[in-house]
Amino acid sequence: MTSIVLYFHVHQPFRLRRYSFFDIAREEDYFDDDANAAIVQRVAERCYLPMNALLLRLAQRHGERFRCSMSITSTALEQMERWAPAALAGLVALARAGVVEFVAETSHHSLAFLANGDEFRAQVRAHTDRLERTFGARPRAFRNTELVIDDRVARVAGELGFCALLGEGADHLVGWRSPASVYAAAGTPDLKVLLRNYELSDDIAFRFSNRGWHEWPLSAEKFARFLERVPEDAQQIGLFMDYETAGEHQWEETGIFDFMERMPGAALQSGRFTFRTPSEVAARETAAETLEIPHPVSWADAERDLSAWLGNPMQSAAHAALYALYNDTRRAAAAGRPELLERWRRLSTSDHVYYMCTKGASDGEVHAHFSPYDSPHEAYVTFMNVLDDLARRVGAGA
């Protein structure tokens, strides 16, 4: 029987306010709480609340044959606690009902694995502890920020005791192999690597409302036929997408909620499939082979690499300047100013460098859609102004 691993990602960054050169050394209020509150409340109304209720209905309808998984950053958790508590209560209810396995990641959705291994581990441990406190179970599976995987990430995930690692089934990684196989991580044989089927996932996440797509409209029954095309010896089909796919990226008027409600039943009808969580698949399946991942692979943009965040000089300079301040910030926190480290960590959220991307074509349109800025240069200037102020406060012990 082939497992369907339905996985959702939940994230909200702390967006910066328009912080100018003249605010440096004068204003320490970096974050636009009005915008952050408005966005998380809007997304909760459009997506989180209805999807929480929908997943609970699916579990009640299909029993043990339906399970899903979800990762939620600590920045999103904090914003829900402050501004959308009903959405968080719904997620807690799903955890208590045994519907959702919560997957660990970095607390602040950072690229720390690239720059500082100690900070990477610290964020993962902090986030794992927070998930356990909030949802009552310690995560057993791990996904890195933006689904980035490589051999280093796998090694740390294994060291931290995770049994499963989620990744992107990019063509240049998989090659002739199948994303539907379960793999062992190179150097960490006890860690199972579960890959995303990007074609099937993107049918829902990106193409669902595209009237120019030759498969539009996508019904639950049609999608079940797509699933049936996957070879029968497939161990798992990774359907990984943002939770905001339903209601935010694909509006309610597209029929996305009806699709989400009907799709599991359509998939289960043949008797070939069942829905399982990452840790269930890892415990059940023997790895088909070892997967070596020498270079980082992500789920972003056409390249499926790190160019969405570090593809131009502005992004590289901002990333380097941020981590150059890390050790001083840690010392300031240890000396009695922990709020400075929390500000630094909010700045480590990968969204800030994502907004600086200068790509064109469809990838550029996606970056622009999510950015609160008028241009990548404005994103860079704002970020560097804030970082300049933080550096002064760290250095002065203010």
CATH number at residue 189: 3.20.110.20
Out of 146, 168, 248, 280, the active site residue is 146
pLDDT at residue number 260: 98
Mean per-residue pLDDT for 223-252? 97
Question: How far is residue 206's CA from residue 200's CA, in Å, rounded to a whole number?
Answer: 10
Q: For 161-191, give the DSSP string.
A: T-SEEEEE--HHHHTTS-TTS-EEETTEEEE
Of 63-77, 82-96, 292-306, give the lowest mean pLDDT range: 292-306
Mean per-residue pLDDT for 75-95? 98
pLDDT at residue number 365: 56
Residue 366 has pLDDT above 80, yes or no: no
DSSP label of 15: P
Contact 336, 344 (CB under 8 A): no
Give the predicted TM-score (pTM) of the model.
Answer: 0.95
**Mean pLDDT over each residue of the chain, to the nearest integer:** 95
Q: Is the peptide bond before 217 cis (omega within 30 degrees of 0)?
A: yes
Question: How far is residue 180's CA from residue 76's CA, in Å, rounded to a whole number?
Answer: 30
Residue 168 has pLDDT above 60, yes or no: yes
Residue 364 has pLDDT above 50, yes or no: no
Range of the domain at 201: 2-291
Decide: helix, strand or coil at residue 274.
strand
Q: Check the CA dihedral 301-305-308-312 and report its sign.
A: negative
Residue 362 has pLDDT above 80, yes or no: no
Task: Tell me how far apart the terminal alpha carbons of the chain are, to the nearest angstrom.
Answer: 60
Please identify, among 263, 291, 319, the residue that sits at the C-terminal boundary of a domain: 291
Phi and psi, residue 290, nearest 5°: -90, 135
Clarify whether residues 274 and 370 are in a common domain: no
The pLDDT tens digits for 20-34 are 999 999 999 999 999
Clarify whether residues 37 and 164 are in a common domain: yes
Alpha helix segments (H runs only) across the chain: 33-43, 49-62, 74-83, 85-96, 112-115, 117-135, 151-159, 171-174, 198-205, 220-228, 256-268, 278-284, 307-310, 313-324, 326-334, 338-347, 351-354, 361-370, 376-396
The pLDDT tens digits for 9-62 are 999 999 999 999 999 999 999 999 999 999 999 999 999 999 999 999 999 999
Clarify whether residues 258 and 330 are in a common domain: no
CA angle, residues 313, 317, 321, in degrees to nearest 5: 175
Clarify whether residues 257 and 332 are in a common domain: no
Mean per-residue pLDDT for 97-122? 97
Pull the structure tokens for residue 37.
């509150």
Please identify, among 291, 316, 348, the residue that sits at the C-terminal boundary of a domain: 291
pLDDT at residue number 228: 97
CB-count exposure of residue 79 (10 Å: 0-12, 13-18, 19+): buried
Give the number of domains in the chain. 2
Clarify whether residues 352 and 273 are in a common domain: no
Quick one: how far is CA 228 from the chain centroid? 27
Contact 7, 70 (CB under 8 A): yes
Clarify whether residues 152 and 257 are in a common domain: yes
Clarify whether residues 82 and 227 are in a common domain: yes
**Is-catalytic flag, 146?**
yes
pLDDT at residue number 300: 87
Residue 297 lies in a domain: no
pLDDT at residue number 398: 47
Determine which helix (DSSP H) or strand (DSSP E) holds 273, and give its type and residue range: strand 273-275
pLDDT at residue number 359: 81
Clarify whether residues 200 and 318 are in a common domain: no
Look-up of token digits 């499926």: 304
